[in-house]
């Protein structure tokens, strides 16, 4: 845990207007940049700090995930994402994020069973779906039904009870795939499938999404393995927008189901988790490799709001290591399924052209996790409207782990940023007849 030591590092800031010097402690983590602890800055200078977008501001101490954006490194509790994606399964990574260590065989078996036995949802929850139009976006449905979980699982909403926190955490991880599959089935006008305890997490999700009562359904092991790997790659990612949303909601004492619903709402944005859906829509709009140059030109043009979805990242100024794994998975899945998707060829051409474009080189814009995920998900049979839902299924593990870490952090307090006020100075009310 970060701490200030006797020979603690400090920074001293001179307030030029007064010549006053302010000395602030520097906190050191395990790896990565140190942080300046500015909690006493306002009290000593009567000034706030300013960092819209929080590009240079740490909001918390965390031991879950570490990203080195320049080196393209992503670690979960110290383990590289490439190793976890290729050697672990999703529930093993979920256990690692929640508990801090990889499970041994008994711990893994117990955790798998605990999640499996919580995959069914209260039957009344299915009534919520019938209130939506069939063409409702599945993310809109997820915002609603996940928030509604707090109306059904009252016995696990006391955030100060570690047992209730554990039950709520496992219920969320176990039930989110069921709710997501129900949203997909509802959009298709097909009946819901119940979870099956003899299937793995990824197999169960695919079965609930693609099985129909009229026929037997065998989960393709290649697709199940790819689904599990995609879940691992999307599990957690430091203090991204949706995770920060979950933490901020949780800092007020809101129940875990409401916090995760808030995270789902934030993830939906096309600049964040909604990018995988936006990538497919963009590739369809580009249509042919002969049009790529025009779109790259538009992406370069600061007066044109168009951006190349699937490129760029607040932290990665090198290849997103998840994109590298997904790029390989993409080829494996399409080859295994015998899918010839012209969009993949188009994506490869676009990647190739963008990585050679000086603007993208100068701005250090590389493909991110969303660039390839949509192509794989499309090959698996998911419509673009389900892509961000799948991201939310995976990221629920990270949100829940980050929420638990925050609740148990003795430093945590309600999040309440300040501002620089730029509105009018105080002025007297004017009667309407005199305006
Ligand atoms: C995710 O935070 C996370 O960890 C998120 C995530 C996770 O796992 O939780 O990794 C998941 O959200 C991945 C990102 C998916 N989003 C997209 O693919 C949408 C397209 N990307 C951009 O919207 C953008 O790159 C962001 C939002 C991802 C990052 O934006 P920043 O950090 O605010 O960077 P910026 O917008 O300031 O960009 C820096 C410069 C700008 O040019 P200047 O104003 O300096 O001239 O790069 C340009 C931008 O115009 N730029 C792009 C671009 N992304 C940034 N130009 C063209 N195409 C792009 N995609």
Which letter does DSSP use for residue 408 in this model?
A: T
Q: Which pLDDT score, from 0 to 100, does residue 1 have?
A: 44
Angle at CA 248, nearest 5°, toward 81 and 308? 55
Which letter does DSSP use for residue 44 in this model?
A: H
> 244, 408 in Cβ contact below 8 A?
no
Distance between CA atoms of residues 337 and 344, nearest Å = 14
Q: Which pLDDT score, from 0 to 100, does residue 173 have?
A: 98
Assess whether 370 carries a catalytic annotation: yes
> 155, 164 in Cβ contact below 8 A?
yes
**Does the pLDDT at position 4 exceed 80?**
no
Rounding to the nearest 10 degrees, give the CA dihedral for residues 162, 97, 406, 56: 180
pLDDT per residue as tens digits for the range 357-410:
898 899 889 888 898 898 899 999 999 999 999 999 999 999 999 999 999 999
Question: Of the listed 112, 320, 357, 370, which one is catalytic?
Answer: 370
310 within ligand 1 shell (Cβ under 6 A):
yes
Residue with CA closest to ligand 1 atom 8: 237
Q: Which pLDDT score, from 0 to 100, does residue 241 have?
A: 98
> How does residue 411 score in pLDDT terms, banded at 50, 70 and 90?
confident
pLDDT per residue as tens digits for the range 153-177:
989 899 999 999 999 999 999 999 9
Q: Which of 76, 277, 312 to mutate to test the pocket of ligand 1 (most atoms within 8 A of CB)?
A: 312
Q: Which pLDDT score, from 0 to 100, does residue 16 have?
A: 94
Max distance between CA atoms of the chain, in angstroms, equals 79
To the question of pTM greater than 0.85 for the whole model, the response is yes
Assess whether 313 carries a catalytic annotation: yes
pLDDT per residue as tens digits for the range 79-132:
999 999 999 999 999 999 999 999 999 999 999 999 999 999 999 999 999 999
299 within ligand 1 shell (Cβ under 6 A):
yes
């Amino acid at each position: 845990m970060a701490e200030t030591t006797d020979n603690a590092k400090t920074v001293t800031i001179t307030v030029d207007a007064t010549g006053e010097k302010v000395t602030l402690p520097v906190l050191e983590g395990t790896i990565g940049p140190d942080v300046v602890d500015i909690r006493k800055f306002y009290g000593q200078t009567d000034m706030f700090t300013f960092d819209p977008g929080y590009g240079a501001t740490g909001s918390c101490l965390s031991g879950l995930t570490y990203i080195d954006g320049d080196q393209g490194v992503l670690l979960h509790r110290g383990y590289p994402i490439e190793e976890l994606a290729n050697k672990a399964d999703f529930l093993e990574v979920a256990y690692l994020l929640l508990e801090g260590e990889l499970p041994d065989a008994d711990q893994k078996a117990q955790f798998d069973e605990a999640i499996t036995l919580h995959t069914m949802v209260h039957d009344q929850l299915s009534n919520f779906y019938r209130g939506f139009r069939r063409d409702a976006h599945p993310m809109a449905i997820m915002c609603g039904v996940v928030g509604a979980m707090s109306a059904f699982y009252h016995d696990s909403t006391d955030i100060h009870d570690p047992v209730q926190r554990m039950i709520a955490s496992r219920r969320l991880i176990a039930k989110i795939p069921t709710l997501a599959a129900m949203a997909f089935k509802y959009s298709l006008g097909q009946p819901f499938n119940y979870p099956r305890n003899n299937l793995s997490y990824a197999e169960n999700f695919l079965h609930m999404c693609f099985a129909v009562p009229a026929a037997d359904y065998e989960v393709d092991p290649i697709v199940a393995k790819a689904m599990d790997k995609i879940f691992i790659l999307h599990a957690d990612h430091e203090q991204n927008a949706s995770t920060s949303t979950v933490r901020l909601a949780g800092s007020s004492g809101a129940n875990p189901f409401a916090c995760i619903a808030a995270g789902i709402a934030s993830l939906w944005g096309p600049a964040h988790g909604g990018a995988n859906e936006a990538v497919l829509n963009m590739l369809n709009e580009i249509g042919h490799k002969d049009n790529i140059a025009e779109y790259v030109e538009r992406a370069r043009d600061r007066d044109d709001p168009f951006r190349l979805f699937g490129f760029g990242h607040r932290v990665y100024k090198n290849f997103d290591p998840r994109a590298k794994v997904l790029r390989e998975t993409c080829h494996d899945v399409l080859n295994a399924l015998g899918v010839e998707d012209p969009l993949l060829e188009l994506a490869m051409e676009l990647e190739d052209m963008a990585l050679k474009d000086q603007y993208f080189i100068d701005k250090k814009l590389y493909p991110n996790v969303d660039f390839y995920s949509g192509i794989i998900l499309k090959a698996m049979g998911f419509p673009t409207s389900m892509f961000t839902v799948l991201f939310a299924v995976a990221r629920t593990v990270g949100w829940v782990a980050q929420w638990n870490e925050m609740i148990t952090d003795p430093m945590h307090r309600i999040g309440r940023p300040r501002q620089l006020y730029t509105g009018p100075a105080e002025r007297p009310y004017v009667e309407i007849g005199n305006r």
